[in-house]
Amino acid sequence: DAGITQSPRHKVTETGTPVTLRCHQTENHRYMYWYRQDPGHGLRLIHYSYGVKDTDKGEVSDGYSVSRSKTEDFLLTLESATSSQTSVYFCAARTSGSYEQYFGPGTRLTVT
């Protein structure tokens, strides 16, 4: 996992509650990404960051926000969780000059 951790690894929450997932990296990667993985859809990009405080939207950003106040941490927030956000969430990171991404182990989120 090249020094990328995600927390929590599993979470069950109720519809309408806020949820924050954390991605932490120890390799000083500049770029960080959040994806969700669902059967039949593969991985879809939610948001990504190209530096501290620099973020942009991906393919499926509605209902999600992100923040990156430090190089090593990239937070994904579901402001008001919905059942359609039940998924496995993966964080990835890469350095400048290389497109090879390193992935975390994933967070399985269930919204009931």
Using CB under 8 A as the binding rule, whether residue 50 contacts other proteins is answered as: yes
> CB neighbours (10 Å) of residue 61?
17
The footprint of other proteins on this chain (CB under 8 A) covers a number of residues equal to: 27
> Smallest distance from the beta carbon of 81 to other proteins, in angstroms?
23
d(CA 82, CA 78): 9
Residues that bind other proteins (CB under 8 A): 1, 4, 31, 33, 35, 40-45, 48, 50, 56, 58-59, 90, 92, 94, 99-106
